[in-house]
Amino acid sequence: MERGFALIDDDLRVEHEIPVFDDPGVRMNEGACDATGRLFCGSMAYDAREGGGRLYRLDPDLSVHVALEGVSIPNGLVWTDAGRTALHADTLAGEVRAYDYDPSNGRVGASRVFVRIDEESGAPDGLALDAEGGLWVALWGGGAVHRYDVRGRLDQTRPVRIRFQ
């Protein structure tokens, strides 16, 4: 959905639409679910302007809430520490932020920079956690995936090459 959420059936037909905003200059970008089934999805401006997006939360009762304001290009969302910390990439800002997270109510709290990516390396996009708690960050425009340890220190770089045929 470009401007909201949708529930689909087993045949991928839309059963129910949940509009979130009507700004034609903004679209939904990427989302993820927390351990309780809340769906978070970030929006971004088509012109990719700084601070032009938000992170929305869709609760199981289908109510929608703004979880974060002022994000630019929201990507990659994962939870650590038994769901008490959310890691979220803002591609335009070139950083992954760690947010205090309350799994009992889905509220996002105070944040800090967990990883800052220099422009020459690319921009943080998708995120994944491994079994040791390491954070893998796909670098848009960087041709690589970085792994950061639990303290946010780069400990692996894997080049990625895509061949089109």
Chain CA centroid to CA 57, Å:
12
CA distance 89 to 73: 8
Backbone angles phi, psi at 17, to 5 degrees: -100, 140
Is residue 125 flagged as an active site residue? yes
Residue among 23, 34, 90, 125 flagged as catalytic: 125
Q: What is the DSSP string of 96-134?
A: EEEEEEETTTTEEEEEEEEEE--GGG-EEEEEEE-TTSP
The three-point CA angle 117-122-128 to 5° equals 70
Catalytic positions are 125
